[in-house]
Amino acid sequence: MNIQAIYDNLEYIFEAVDSPYTFDKPALFIRAGNSDYILPDDYGSIKKTFTSAQFHTIEGASHWVHAEKPDELCDIFNNFI
């Protein structure tokens, strides 16, 4: 892992990625209700690249969705696949 590159670019780490490409297959984005890593305001910029993006929010979970709400997370995965 290039820690120096991460450190050098910390100011950009939460900016949207501007890509000249699109991905038109289904893509699943799961956000935690108690986390600000992905916000509803971000959906538009995500959809520019992932045109068939699906969004699910797991309420009552923080960034550690897999540890806090594993059953709900697995249900979302299973329905997606």
pLDDT band of residue 19 (cuts 50, 70, 90) is confident
Instruction: Kindly list the domain boundaries of the chain, sorted by start residue.
Output: 24-80
φ, ψ at 6 (rounded to 5°): -60, -50
pLDDT band of residue 6 (cuts 50, 70, 90) is confident
> pLDDT of 42-58, one tens digit each?
999 999 999 999 999 99
What's the predicted TM-score (pTM) here?
0.79
Average pLDDT over residues 1-17: 84
Instruction: Please check the confidence at residue 77 and state whether its pLDDT lies above 80.
Output: yes
